[in-house]
Protein backbone atom coordinates (compact mmCIF):
# COMPACT_ATOMS: atom_id res chain seq x y z
CA UNK A 1 0.00 0.00 0.00
CA UNK A 2 2.82 2.42 0.88
CA UNK A 3 4.62 1.64 -2.37
CA UNK A 4 1.43 2.41 -4.30
CA UNK A 5 1.00 5.78 -2.55
CA UNK A 6 4.67 6.64 -3.13
CA UNK A 7 4.32 5.69 -6.79
CA UNK A 8 1.18 7.82 -7.07
CA UNK A 9 2.93 10.83 -5.51
CA UNK A 10 5.96 10.34 -7.78
CA UNK A 11 3.73 10.13 -10.84
CA UNK A 12 1.90 13.32 -9.87
CA UNK A 13 5.23 15.17 -9.47
CA UNK A 14 6.36 13.83 -12.82
CA UNK A 15 3.19 15.00 -14.56
CA UNK A 16 3.42 18.42 -12.90
CA UNK A 17 7.06 18.79 -13.92
CA UNK A 18 6.28 17.92 -17.53
CA UNK A 19 3.45 20.44 -17.78
CA UNK A 20 5.30 23.36 -16.19
CA UNK A 21 7.76 23.92 -19.02
CA UNK A 22 7.94 27.39 -20.58
CA UNK A 23 8.38 26.44 -24.21
CA UNK A 24 5.72 28.91 -25.30
CA UNK A 25 7.43 31.98 -23.79
CA UNK A 26 10.83 30.95 -25.16
CA UNK A 27 9.51 30.64 -28.69
CA UNK A 28 7.78 34.04 -28.46
CA UNK A 29 11.09 35.60 -27.30
CA UNK A 30 12.89 34.05 -30.25
CA UNK A 31 10.25 35.31 -32.66
CA UNK A 32 10.51 38.81 -31.18
CA UNK A 33 14.28 38.77 -31.58
CA UNK A 34 14.00 37.63 -35.18
CA UNK A 35 11.29 40.17 -35.94
CA UNK A 36 13.36 43.15 -34.75
CA UNK A 37 17.05 42.51 -35.40
CA UNK A 38 19.51 45.29 -34.75
CA UNK A 39 20.96 45.94 -38.18
CA UNK A 40 23.82 48.22 -39.20
CA UNK A 41 24.14 48.80 -42.93
CA UNK A 42 27.30 50.23 -44.52
CA UNK A 43 27.34 50.77 -48.26
CA UNK A 44 29.35 52.66 -50.83
CA UNK A 45 27.97 53.00 -54.35
CA UNK A 46 31.28 54.22 -55.82
CA UNK A 47 33.19 51.14 -54.66
CA UNK A 48 30.16 48.85 -55.08
CA UNK A 49 30.13 47.18 -51.70
CA UNK A 50 27.58 46.70 -48.96
CA UNK A 51 28.12 45.40 -45.44
CA UNK A 52 25.18 44.33 -43.29
CA UNK A 53 25.88 43.61 -39.62
CA UNK A 54 23.20 41.88 -37.54
CA UNK A 55 23.84 42.46 -33.84
CA UNK A 56 20.93 41.13 -31.80
CA UNK A 57 20.41 43.02 -28.55
CA UNK A 58 22.63 45.98 -29.44
CA UNK A 59 19.83 48.56 -29.36
CA UNK A 60 18.61 47.20 -26.01
CA UNK A 61 22.13 47.52 -24.60
CA UNK A 62 22.61 50.97 -26.11
CA UNK A 63 19.58 52.47 -24.35
CA UNK A 64 21.01 51.40 -20.99
CA UNK A 65 24.21 53.39 -21.54
CA UNK A 66 24.65 56.95 -20.23
CA UNK A 67 24.42 59.82 -22.74
CA UNK A 68 27.56 61.14 -24.44
CA UNK A 69 27.71 64.18 -22.18
CA UNK A 70 27.48 62.14 -18.96
CA UNK A 71 31.27 62.01 -18.45
CA UNK A 72 33.55 65.02 -18.80
CA UNK A 73 36.45 65.01 -21.23
CA UNK A 74 38.92 64.93 -18.33
CA UNK A 75 37.33 61.77 -16.88
CA UNK A 76 37.41 60.04 -20.26
CA UNK A 77 41.05 61.00 -20.85
CA UNK A 78 42.04 59.64 -17.43
CA UNK A 79 40.20 56.38 -18.09
CA UNK A 80 41.89 56.10 -21.46
CA UNK A 81 45.32 56.60 -19.90
CA UNK A 82 44.62 53.90 -17.33
CA UNK A 83 43.37 51.47 -19.99
CA UNK A 84 46.37 52.16 -22.25
CA UNK A 85 48.75 51.62 -19.35
CA UNK A 86 47.06 48.31 -18.46
CA UNK A 87 47.04 47.21 -22.10
CA UNK A 88 50.76 47.96 -22.46
CA UNK A 89 51.53 46.09 -19.23
CA UNK A 90 49.67 43.01 -20.42
CA UNK A 91 51.16 43.19 -23.93
CA UNK A 92 54.68 43.50 -22.49
CA UNK A 93 54.23 40.61 -20.06
CA UNK A 94 51.58 38.17 -21.35
CA UNK A 95 52.11 35.77 -18.43
CA UNK A 96 50.22 38.08 -16.03
Q: What is the pLDDT of residue 30?
A: 44
Q: What is the pLDDT of residue 31?
A: 44
> Furthest-apart CA pair in the chain: how many Å?
84
Residue 34 confidence (pLDDT) above 60: no
Q: CB–CB of 37/58 below 8 Å?
A: no
Chain centre distance of CA 80:
25
Q: CB–CB of 56/38 below 8 Å?
A: yes
Higher-confidence position of 22 and 65: 65
Q: What is the pLDDT of residue 48?
A: 82
Q: Above pLDDT 70, what percent of the chain?
A: 61
Q: What is the pLDDT of residue 74?
A: 97
Q: What is the pLDDT of residue 11?
A: 63
Amino acid sequence: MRAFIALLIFASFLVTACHSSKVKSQSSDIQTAKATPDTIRIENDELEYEIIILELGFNNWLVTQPPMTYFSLNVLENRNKAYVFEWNQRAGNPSI
